Structure 1
């Protein structure tokens, strides 16, 4: 991953300096900005591989900035935040962030998260119609699932549900959003339909089902690390 470019947006010069030193030591190229407007100008002018984004910023918060740039720039985003509440993490991941790190943090942890997110991102953009996490292979083009070399038979809705979750690792999806994405905007069924399909999907996936996590009171998310560690 040497040569990958990391953009840090954080208004704390001490944090920017520490992160720059550690990330550069690992062979990455680093650019830093103290606010979102400067960060946005950098994104417009340069090719950036991953964004490290603080939430509490002077001009607009990181959540707003994430929403603003998502339609325009396709790159992984890791949030940094002094807020350690579960609700704040869920908000960040729902907005499309790829990871969330609470302050205070270890710079080594940030570097490790950057590498993990870039590995997932690179793997899943090499073949747009195929996703692979450890021994789990999801092939959308040919519509099949393999885990540890064995094919797994899924219904069309189960397949679509898994694909939607796996395309966005760590992003938390509310049941209502999954209904709209998988069953369509004109579907008027109960949100419990999602729970029923998740239950069936987990049963068929066996050990790989560990990647589908329940976020209590909200919905579900896909944790790729649960498969990569196996």
Structure 2
């Protein structure tokens, strides 16, 4: 059995010394890079299944690595960084990162995010006809949404919003991505507009809209559709 291969891109030796044995024990093959240039070379030659990427690299910003990579690969990228500014997270996610974890971090949280990203990649490659979570079923072919077999009546915009989140299930989707994809470029900054529609959508799809379990808020960044398993 071939182990999933993870490329860890970080110039802090202590992070590499901690992550390699921890991820190996969790069942992953680990390869390492300390610079953006080394990372791009490893991506091209060693075909990792997932990348853990620090934004603060000695030769280039990690966002440059994402931008370069997304020109030719859709490998999942998980940001691991001490930068806690929302603008940094949003910029990395908008460039194509799949998720982020802030330093300091726990290995349990990190491996959970890795599993989610790898599952999302598998689902994307399989192109599922149905998306199911917490009793909710989304059928993109029939444009039908049901909960426990009962049809839910969504407006066209509510459906488009839910489908976009579902197609990126398990990943953070930024406010700007949601707004421009569903309403167009002119609405890229209309956060109040988005919050209203998210509230309406939760009223229809959640068991308890005051404690949402399906569409979860990533404060200051965007939303994530939670998937079972």
TM-score range for the pair, normalised by the shorter chain length = 0.7 to 0.9
In 1, the alpha carbon distance for the partners of 2:203 and 2:108 equals: 37
1:35 CA displacement: 0.9
Tell me the secondary structure at the aligned position of residue 206 of structure 2.
Answer: helix
Aligned residue-pair number: 225
1:70 CA displacement: 1.8
Any residues of structure 2 matched to 1:160-175 within 5 Å, and which? 160-168=160-168, 169-174=170-175
1:51 CA displacement: 0.6
Q: Which runs of 4+ in 1 moved over 6 A?
A: none
| Residue 27 of structure 1: aligned partner | 27
1:2 CA displacement: 6.3
The reply on whether 1:212 has 2:212 as its aligned counterpart is no
Any residues of structure 2 matched to 1:37-116 within 5 Å, and which? 37-116=37-116
Q: Cα deviations across residues 175-223 of structure 1 (Å, max 9, x unaligned)? A: x5434312345789x765444433321221132762334566x574124
| Residue 182 of structure 1: aligned partner | 182
Tell me the secondary structure at the aligned position of residue 207 of structure 1.
Answer: coil
Tell me the secondary structure at the aligned position of residue 51 of structure 2.
Answer: strand
Indicate how the Cα distance of structure 1 residues 130 and 72 shifts in structure 2: closer, same or farther if over 3 A, else same.
farther
Give the conservation status (yes or no) of the 8 Å contact 1:130–1:139: yes
Indicate how the Cα distance of structure 1 residues 219 and 114 shifts in structure 2: closer, same or farther if over 3 A, else same.
closer
Q: Name whichever of 107-116 and 153-162 sits farther off.
A: 107-116
Q: Cα deviations across residues 98-119 of structure 1 (Å, max 9, x unaligned)? A: 2211212233432232123222
Give the conservation status (yes or no) of the 8 Å contact 1:138–1:144: yes
TM-score under structure 1 length normalisation: 0.81
1:79 CA displacement: 0.7
Give the conservation status (yes or no) of the 8 Å contact 1:214–1:221: yes
In 1, the alpha carbon distance for the partners of 2:158 and 2:218 equals: 19
Indicate how the Cα distance of structure 1 residues 120 and 172 shifts in structure 2: closer, same or farther if over 3 A, else same.
closer
For structure 1, list consecutive stretches of 5 or more residues without a partner in the other structure.
Answer: none
Any residues of structure 2 matched to 1:147-166 within 5 Å, and which? 147-166=147-166
1:8 CA displacement: 0.8
> Once superposed, what is the RMSD of the aligned Cα atoms?
3.0
Indicate how the Cα distance of structure 1 residues 15 and 132 shifts in structure 2: closer, same or farther if over 3 A, else same.
same
In 2, the alpha carbon distance for the partners of 1:98 and 1:79 equals: 8
For structure 2, list consecutive stretches of 5 or more residues without a partner in the other structure.
Answer: none
TM-score under structure 2 length normalisation: 0.81
In 1, the alpha carbon distance for the partners of 2:208 and 2:132 equals: 12
| Residue 12 of structure 2: aligned partner | 12
1:52 CA displacement: 0.4
